[in-house]
Amino acid sequence: MSILEIKDLHATVDTPEGTKEILKGVDLTIKGGETHAIMGPNGSGKSTLAYSIAGHPKYDITSGTVLLDGEDVLEMSVDERARAGLFLAMQYPVEVPGVTVSNFLRTAKTAVDGEAPSLRTWVKDVKGAMANLKMDEAFAERNVNEGFSGGEKKRHEILQMELLKPAIAILDETDSGLDVDALRVVSEGVNRAKANTDVGVMLITHYTRILNYIKPDFVHVFVNGRVAEEGGPELAERLEAEGYERFLTGAN
Ligand code: ADP
Ligand code: MG
Ligand code: MG
């Protein structure tokens, strides 16, 4: 079972107005098999946390640690992070011109596993995962994210997660832009991964809606660059009723 430990993480980003501290001491531990909802107002730094763990070059880690099974994630290249078992589904996935979904998935699987998957089982696995996510087979021959609808992008992310079998999956606003049917399909994919593997999930969301489908074990309220409050699923219900207002007085 894996464990991701984030300790007193501080991160800055360079803006036209100068260097701005976005993460102001994040403490969070996620174990395999657990689902942690990270909830917070827009602009509180949730995506910055995801990108910082993933190693996005835009964000500078100024202090703190991120350990995966005791290994220093911040010392790893982006590829090494993926190989170590970290998976990040981007809030705004990028287009990859000229690379088909099929080739992209196979390349990613080969990079993560350190060897190419056996062709026979791989084709079967991809077909099975796509059928589970109610994706048309023709989707595999499209270029990654090119002209994908919001729902297709999210399905593609979950397809990657199902096939790459990460130790820790970071899902950033996986619910954004999904209608109820797509939300159900995508959530079922996450729940399938949870049932079939020991994945630990960091589920970043602004809204409580997705938590009706993916049940969190822990809820962390993220405000102004840090965790302001933590609790169980009941905390999400409270946020649904009250919003983030009580956390915002005196913030900044
Ligand atoms: P959230 O995901 O919670 O909405 P973000 O992490 O996207 O929050 O953003 C947190 C703050 O950091 C915001 O004020 C945002 O404008 C700023 N920020 C994030 N990324 C960048 C960037 N690449 N350049 C400039 N400012 C950024
Ligand atoms: Mg965000
Ligand atoms: Mg910089």
Closest ligand 1 atom to residue 222 Cα is 3
pLDDT at site 175: 84
Regarding the beta carbon of 226 and ligand 1, being less than 6 Å apart is answered: no
Contacts 24+ apart (CB under 8 A), 27-30: 27/226, 27/227, 28/4, 28/202, 28/220, 28/227, 29/3, 29/4, 29/5, 30/3, 30/4, 30/168, 30/200, 30/201, 30/202
pLDDT at site 204: 96
Q: Are the beta carbons of 97 and 146 closer than 8 angstroms?
A: yes
- Indicate the top mutation candidate among 9, 10, 13 to test ligand 1's pocket, ranked by most ligand atoms within 8 A of CB: 13
Nearest to 3 by CA among 50, 70, 63, 91: 70
Regarding the beta carbon of 48 and ligand 1, being less than 6 Å apart is answered: yes
Regarding the beta carbon of 92 and ligand 1, being less than 6 Å apart is answered: no
pTM confidence score? 0.93
How far apart are the C-alpha atoms of 7 and 29, rounded to whole Å?
8
Which burial class, exposed, middle or buried, applies to 126 when counting CB atoms under 10 A from its CB (0-12, 13-18, 19+)?
Answer: buried
Q: Whose CA is nearest to atom 27 of ligand 1?
A: 13
The DSSP secondary-structure symbol of 218 reads E
Specify the residue for token string 């399938």.
Answer: 192
Which residues, given as ranges, of the chain have pLDDT below 70?
91-94, 250-252
pLDDT at site 89: 81
Q: Are the beta carbons of 155 and 149 closer than 8 angstroms?
A: no
Write down the ipTM of this complex.
0.94
Measure CA of the first residue to CA of the last residue in the chain; give whole Å.
37
- Indicate the top mutation candidate among 12, 14, 22, 222 to test ligand 1's pocket, ranked by most ligand atoms within 8 A of CB: 22
pLDDT at site 91: 57
pLDDT digits (tens, 9 = 90+) for 5-21: 999 999 999 999 999 99
Q: Are the beta carbons of 1 and 52 closer than 8 angstroms?
A: no
**Which residues, in sequence order, are bridge partners of residue 230?**
220
Specify the residue for token string 């946020």.
Answer: 239
pLDDT at site 98: 86
Single-letter residue type at 74? L
Is the torsion defined by CA of 18, 24, 252, 217 positive or negative?
positive
Specify the residue for token string 């915002």.
Answer: 248
pLDDT at site 229: 96
Domains defined for the chain, CATH in brackets: 3-91+149-248 (3.40.50.300)
Angle at 35 between CA 10 and CA 56, to 5 degrees: 35
CA of 225 to the centre of ligand 2 (A): 12
Is the torsion defined by CA of 57, 61, 62, 68 positive or negative?
negative
pLDDT at site 97: 78
